Structure 1
Amino acid sequence: MSKIDIPTIDTRRVNPFRPAVASLIGTAVEWYDYFIYGLAAATVLGPLFFPEISSTAGTMAAFATFSVGFIARPLGGIVMGHFGDRIGRKSMLVTSLMVMGVSTTGIGLLPTYDSIGVWAPILLVALRFLQGFGVGGEWSGAVLMAVEHAPASRKGLFGSFPQMGVPAGLILANLVYLAVSGAVDDDAFIGWAWRLPFLASALLVIVGLVMRFTIDESPAFARVINNQEQQRIPIASVLSNHWRTVALVAGGFIGINAVAYVFMVYLLNYSTTILEVDRNLMLAFSMIASILWLVVTPLSSVLSDRYGNRRVLAVGSVVLCVSAISLFPLVNSTKPALIVGATMFVALGMGAVYGPMAALFSSTFPAAIRYSGTSVGYQVGSVLGGGIAPTVAGGLYAGWNSSMPITVYLTIVTISSLVCLSILMRPSRPAWSI
C-alpha cells in the first residue's frame, strides 16, 4: 500500500475535540438505533411478530431476536477490524453508521405477522443481524479515532467521548419512546406508532454521517501505513500472538455489559409486566439514571488520567458489583424513590467502569492490529455479557419465579470481570503506545 498524506499532519496542532465529538455524535446515533430495538422488544415486538405463542414466550422470543444482534457483532468486528487496520479507521466509521441506519429504518417499515406471516419474524431476525454487524465495527473505530488523536496526558478523557455515546443514545431513545408512547393511546402505539422511533433513525444517521465525513484519519494509523507495518490478515496476528489479551478484554467487559443490558432492556419488561409499574414511569427512571451515567463516564476518565486506570477501575468495579446486587431487591419494593435510587446506583457503577475502559483496551494492542484486537475482545465480551443477559434474566425468572437467581448471575459476572481487569492492568503486562 502506498503512502498517504495523513502523516504530514502536525499532531500537535490537531484539535482532539473534533474527532472526539464526531465519534460521540455518531456513536450516540448508532446506539439510539440499537436501544430503540431493545425498548420495542420489551414492549411490543412479541405480540406483533410472535403472536402464535403465549405472551411470556412471545416476549422471550423478542429478547432472543435481540440477542441475534450480538451474535453478529463479533463478525462485524472481525470484518471492519480487518479493513480498519488495512485501509483506515474513518472509512469503517462511515460504513458502520450507514449499515445501522439502513437496518433500523428497515425494521420501522417491516410488515408484522398478521400481514406476511412467518416472513415477519424471519425478516426481523435478518435486520437485527444486520444491526449487530454494523455496531460490531463501530465501537473500536470510534474509540481509536478519539484516543489516537488525543494528547498522551488526556487519553482517558478523549477516549470517554465515544463511551458517552452509549448513555446518550439511550437517553435519546427513551426520550423519543416516551414522546411517542405518551402522544397516543396503547392501541395506536401497538398499531403503528411504535414504528416512528425506528423511522426517525434515517434523519439522525444523516447528521452522524456529516460529522464523520469531516474528520481526518487517525495519525497512529497513518504512521502504520507510512512505516509499512500493516498486517496482511490482522485478525490472524491477533489470534496467534495476542489471544490471551483478547480473552482478558472480553472477560473484563462481560460484567458491565451484562448489568447494562439487564438495566436497559430486561428491567423495563420485568417492572411493567411482573411488578405492574407504569411503563412511562420506568422509562423516565431509566432516562434519569442514563443522565447520571453520561456525567460519570467522563469524570471517571479524567480521574483515570490523573490517578491511573488501575485505581479508578478497581473502585468502579466494586461499586458496580454492589449496585448489581441491590438492583432487584430495591426495584421489587415498587416504591418510586427506591427504584430511581437503585437505577442511579447502577448508573454510577457503569459510568465509573465504562469511561476509562476505552484508553485501557486501546493500549493493550499495537497500532497495526489495534482495530481488530479491540473489536474482537470487546464484541466477544458483548455477546457473553449483554447479548445473552436479557434472555438469561428472563429464563431465570421463568424457572424460579424469583429475581434472586438474576441477582446471583449479575454478582458472578461482575466479580469475574473485576478479576480479568485486575490481570489486564498488572504492571508487568506490556502497554503499547497510543
Structure 2
Amino acid sequence: MSSPSVPQQQPPSRAQLRNVRLASGIGSTIEWYLSFAYISAAGLIFSQQYFGALGPDALIVSLGSVAASFIASPLGGVIAGHFGDRYGRKATLIGTLAVMGIASLGMGVLPTYDQIGIAAPVLLVVLRFVQGLSTGGEWGGAALMAVEYAPQNKRGFYGVFSQIGTPAGFVLATGSFFLVQALTTPEQFTTFGWRIPFFISVALVLVGIKIRTSIEETPAFAEVKREHSEVRIPLKEAFKGYSWHMVLAAGAFMANILAGLLLIGYFLPYTTVGLNMDAGPVLLILMFASLVWIGSTFWGGALADKFGARATMMAGYILIALWAVPMFALIDSRSLVAFALAVFVLAIGLGVSYGPQSSLFATLFPPRIRYTAASLPYAVGGILGGGFAPAIAEGLHQATGTSLAIAAYVIVFMAMSLGCLLAIRTRHLQGFAATQEAPAVSEAAVVD
C-alpha cells in the first residue's frame, strides 16, 4: 500500500529560511561543543573522579575514552540515515538532538567512582558512546536540511551552517570551561563546576529542538514522499549503487578533519609541553584562529557558489599543503606572533576546504538515500583522518625528532584528499546537478 499523498509545500518565507540556517548550525555546534567539553573534562576531571582507580594509567584511559564517540559515529549515521531517508529529515534531526541532550544531562549528573564504584566509568563511556550515535546522525541531517532548503545558487552558503559547528564548538567549550574555572575555587570546580558546561549544552539542545519543530520537511524529501519513492533499506541501495561515491566523499573529507584536529587538538600540547610556551596566550591565539576558521568557512561557501564546491575544496587543500612546512617552522620558533601567523593561515585553508563540504556531499547522492549516503562518508572520513591524528602526529614527532615529519603527514593526506576530489566527475553528481528528482527552492519563490 502506498503512503498517503503529501501536499505541495508553500514557498518558504525568509523567516523560515533563517530558522533553517539556525537549525542546521545549532546541532553541529552542540556536537563539537560537547566533544571538546568531554576532552577538557577527560584531562581535568574524569581521570581522577572516574578512572582514578587505574593509578598511573588513569589519564591514558580517560583520554582514550574520547574514542568511544568516533567508534559509535558510523553506526549513528546508519541508524539516523535510515529514518531520515524513510520518514524525513525533520523528525530524525529532532531525535538526534533529543538523544544528545539526554547524554549530556547524564554526564552532568553522573555520580563519581567514589559514590557508585565501577559503574561510574562504565556509564561514562556508555554515555560517550550514545553521544557518538547522536553526532553520527546529526551532521548528515543538518547538512541536508540546509542544502535541500537552499535557494538556487546559494547551496554553498547554506551548507556552511552545518560546517561552522567545529570551530564554534571549540570556542564555546573552551570559553565555558575558562569562565567556570575563573568564577569558582579549585575545590568548587572539581566538586560541581565542571558539570556546568554539560548542563549548558542541555539548554542549547532545548533551543535547537524548539527551532527544528517550527520547520517543515525539506523540499527534496517532500518530493520523495509525493512520488512515493522512499527506499525500504537505504543502506543497501547506497552500497549497491553509490559505494564509489561514498569512498570518494570519505576520502575528500579526511584531510580537512586531520588539519582541523591538529589545530584544535594537538597544537596546544605541542606548544606548551613540547616547546614550553605559555598555555594562556597559546589558548587565546587558538580561540582567535577558530574565529578565523568560522569566517573563512563562510568564505568557502560563497566561493563554492561561484566556482563550485569541488574546485573550492581543492584550493583550500593546496593552500594547507603548501603551508605545512612553513607553518611548523614558524611554530617551532616559539614566537607567539609567528605562532599566530601559522595557525591563522591554516584556519583560512581549513575554512575554504570545509565550507563547501555539505553542498558537495548533497550533490553526490539522490534524495531518496541522501541522508544515509552522506552520513557514512562523514563518519568514516572523520575516523580515518581525525580520530587518531593528534596521537599519530605526536608519535611521528617522537620517532623522528622533527616537526617536518608531521608536515609530511599533513601533505600526504592533502594529496590523498585532492586525489579523491579529482576523481569526482560530473557523472557522479546526482541530486541537484544531474537530475530533476528534487528541484531546489527558487530564490524568487521565497516570500516575506
Q: Same fold (TM over 0.5)?
A: yes
Task: Using structure 2 for the length normalisation, give the TM-score.
Answer: 0.89
Displacement of 1:10 in angstroms is 3.4
One-letter amino acid matched to 2:431: W
Cα distance in structure 1, aligned partners of 2:209 and 2:32:
14
CA offsets, 1:383-402, max 9 Å, x none?
A: 11222223333444555565
Q: Conserved in 2, the CA contact under 8 Å of 1:156 and 1:356?
A: yes
Cα distance in structure 2, aligned partners of 1:42 and 1:406:
24
**Could you say if the C-alpha distance between residues 7 and 35 of structure 1 is closer, same or farther in structure 2, counting changes exceeding 3 Å?**
farther
Cα distance in structure 2, aligned partners of 1:157 and 1:121:
42
Displacement of 1:313 in angstroms is 1.7
Aligned to 2:21: 20
Aligned to 2:24, the other structure's residue is in SS state helix
1:20-169 superposed matches below 5 A? 20-52=21-53, 57-169=57-169
1:135-214 superposed matches below 5 A? 135-186=135-186, 188-214=188-214
Aligned to 2:378: 378
Aligned to 1:2: 3
Aligned to 2:364, the other structure's residue is in SS state coil
Gaps of 5+ in 2: 433-437, 439-448
Aligned to 2:261: 261
One-letter amino acid matched to 1:315: A
**Could you say if the C-alpha distance between residues 131 and 276 of structure 1 is closer, same or farther in structure 2, counting changes exceeding 3 Å?**
farther
Aligned to 1:284: 284
Cα distance in structure 1, aligned partners of 2:331 and 2:304:
31
Gaps of 5+ in 1: none
CA offsets, 1:225-283, max 9 Å, x none?
A: 11011110000000111111111111111111112122222333333333343443333
Task: Give the number of equivalent residue pairs.
Answer: 432
Displacement of 1:196 in angstroms is 1.7
One-letter amino acid matched to 1:65: S
One-letter amino acid matched to 2:28: T
**Could you say if the C-alpha distance between residues 407 and 32 of structure 1 is closer, same or farther in structure 2, counting changes exceeding 3 Å?**
same
Cα distance in structure 2, aligned partners of 1:41 and 1:30:
16
Displacement of 1:311 in angstroms is 2.9
**Could you say if the C-alpha distance between residues 63 and 377 of structure 1 is closer, same or farther in structure 2, counting changes exceeding 3 Å?**
same
Aligned to 1:429: 428
Q: Conserved in 1, the CA contact under 8 Å of 2:7 and 2:226?
A: no
Q: Conserved in 2, the CA contact under 8 Å of 1:11 and 1:219?
A: no
Cα distance in structure 2, aligned partners of 1:44 and 1:320:
35
One-letter amino acid matched to 1:154: K
Cα distance in structure 2, aligned partners of 1:69 and 1:143:
20
One-letter amino acid matched to 1:288: F
Q: Conserved in 1, the CA contact under 8 Å of 2:282 and 2:336?
A: no
Cα distance in structure 2, aligned partners of 1:43 and 1:6:
53
Q: Conserved in 1, the CA contact under 8 Å of 2:6 and 2:225?
A: no
Displacement of 1:26 in angstroms is 3.1
Aligned to 2:443: none
One-letter amino acid matched to 1:420: C
Aligned to 1:355: 355
Aligned to 2:231, the other structure's residue is in SS state coil
Cα distance in structure 2, aligned partners of 1:189 and 1:429:
52
Aligned to 1:230, the other structure's residue is in SS state coil
**Could you say if the C-alpha distance between residues 192 and 13 of structure 1 is closer, same or farther in structure 2, counting changes exceeding 3 Å?**
closer
Q: Conserved in 2, the CA contact under 8 Å of 1:30 and 1:97?
A: no
Cα distance in structure 2, aligned partners of 1:82 and 1:381:
19
**Could you say if the C-alpha distance between residues 368 and 27 of structure 1 is closer, same or farther in structure 2, counting changes exceeding 3 Å?**
same
Q: Conserved in 2, the CA contact under 8 Å of 1:29 and 1:208?
A: no
Aligned to 1:200, the other structure's residue is in SS state helix
Q: Conserved in 1, the CA contact under 8 Å of 2:245 and 2:428?
A: no
Displacement of 1:38 in angstroms is 2.4
Higher mean alpha-carbon deviation, 188-197 vs 97-106, is at 188-197
Displacement of 1:377 in angstroms is 1.2
One-letter amino acid matched to 1:295: G
Task: Using structure 1 for the length normalisation, give the TM-score.
Answer: 0.91
Cα distance in structure 1, aligned partners of 2:13 and 2:113:
57
Higher mean alpha-carbon deviation, 177-186 vs 83-92, is at 177-186
One-letter amino acid matched to 2:250: A
One-letter amino acid matched to 1:375: S
CA offsets, 1:296-341, max 9 Å, x none?
A: 1111211111122233222111112234444444333332212222
One-letter amino acid matched to 2:354: Y
What's the Cα RMSD here? 2.4
CA offsets, 1:343-402, max 9 Å, x none?
A: 212211110001011111100000100001001111111111222223333444555565
**% identical aligned pairs:** 37
Q: Does 1:296 align with 2:296?
A: yes
Aligned to 1:388: 388
Displacement of 1:409 in angstroms is 2.5
Aligned to 2:248: 248
Aligned to 1:228, the other structure's residue is in SS state coil
**Could you say if the C-alpha distance between residues 255 and 245 of structure 1 is closer, same or farther in structure 2, counting changes exceeding 3 Å?**
same
1:287-366 superposed matches below 5 A? 287-366=287-366
Q: Conserved in 2, the CA contact under 8 Å of 1:4 and 1:222?
A: no
Cα distance in structure 2, aligned partners of 1:117 and 1:326:
49
1:224-239 superposed matches below 5 A? 224-239=224-239
One-letter amino acid matched to 1:37: Y
Displacement of 1:14 in angstroms is 8.5
Cα distance in structure 2, aligned partners of 1:185 and 1:308:
51
Higher mean alpha-carbon deviation, 267-276 vs 375-384, is at 267-276
Cα distance in structure 2, aligned partners of 1:121 and 1:218:
40
Q: Conserved in 2, the CA contact under 8 Å of 1:254 and 1:417?
A: yes
Displacement of 1:428 in angstroms is 4.4
CA offsets, 1:32-51, max 9 Å, x none?
A: 22221123335443344333
One-letter amino acid matched to 1:347: A
Q: Conserved in 2, the CA contact under 8 Å of 1:250 and 1:378?
A: yes
